[in-house]
Amino acid sequence: MKRDNLFRSVFIVILFVFTQTVTAQDKKVSLGVKAAPNLGWLKTDQSGYKNQGIVGGFGWGLVAEFYFAENYAFGTGFNFNFQNGKLVYPEYRNGSVNGELTRKYRLKYLELPAMIKMKTNEINGIKFFGQIGLGTGVRLSSKGEDVFTSDGRPDETTDFRPIDAQTTLFRASMIVGAGIEYPIDNSTSLVAGINFNNGFTNALKGNNTANSTLEHSGMPNFIELSFAVMF
């Protein structure tokens, strides 16, 4: 009888450990979908080039998290980012007209992030997290809307048109973010966060027509509000 109780106790312990192991293994991978409105701008340090403010954009994608410890994960996936911005710079047209070109950019990238995510234990039913990493993007399309001004007056306006020949194919960035995670049940949670995507590669190519020694320069940056459902 004592032996039966011992076997029963050992079996219960083994079953409990196995159940906890399976549960932990299930939580090692988490997948989800995200939507992220953003505010973007083009950073430039080129002489005569000026950023013309913040322009709204949008992003969406798939999120994948691989946990290597209870509260630490490697995050990746893919993002379709619609990044916008506006620059003004000197322009020389028709062989005789000097002026300024104001160009609004619409840039679309497929981004593959590589992130380290760190989060807290539950605090009043909510988990807080921070994340940092790199983003590698491939330009899918680019368009520009132009307003050419000479003598202080708009001289020529061009609607959005493809400018892929004037933009670079690859983009790299640093991503820093923070947010909250609200578990709905054992397998599903809602996530909200804010991310700063700081580009450090030039998205433009070619030389300025008013001064051929100057290269076009603009690095896309944006701040996004990210909303995701994780499973």
Residue boundaries of the structural domains of the chain: 30-230
Q: Which helix (H) or strand (E) holds 13?
A: helix 2-26
CATH classification of 30-230, choosing from 1.10.730.10, 3.90.76.10, 2.40.160.20, 3.20.20.70? 2.40.160.20
Q: What is the distance between the alpha carbons of residues 67 and 33, in angstroms, rounded to a whole number?
A: 17
Let me know the angle formed at the C-alpha of 95 by 93 and 100, rounded to the nearest 5 degrees: 25
Compute the distance between CA of residue 75 and CA of residue 77 in angstroms, rounded to an integer: 7
The answer to pTM > 0.75 is yes
Q: Is 22 left (phi over 0), alpha (psi -120 to 50) or beta?
A: alpha
pLDDT per residue rounded down to tens, the chain (231 residues):
444 554 455 445 444 444 444 444 446 899 999 999 999 999 999 999 999 999 999 999 999 999 999 899 999 999 999 999 999 999 998 766 789 999 999 999 999 999 999 999 999 999 999 999 999 999 999 999 999 998 877 778 899 999 999 999 999 999 999 999 999 988 899 999 999 999 999 999 999 999 999 999 999 999 999 999 999
Q: Which helix (H) or strand (E) holds 155?
A: strand 153-162
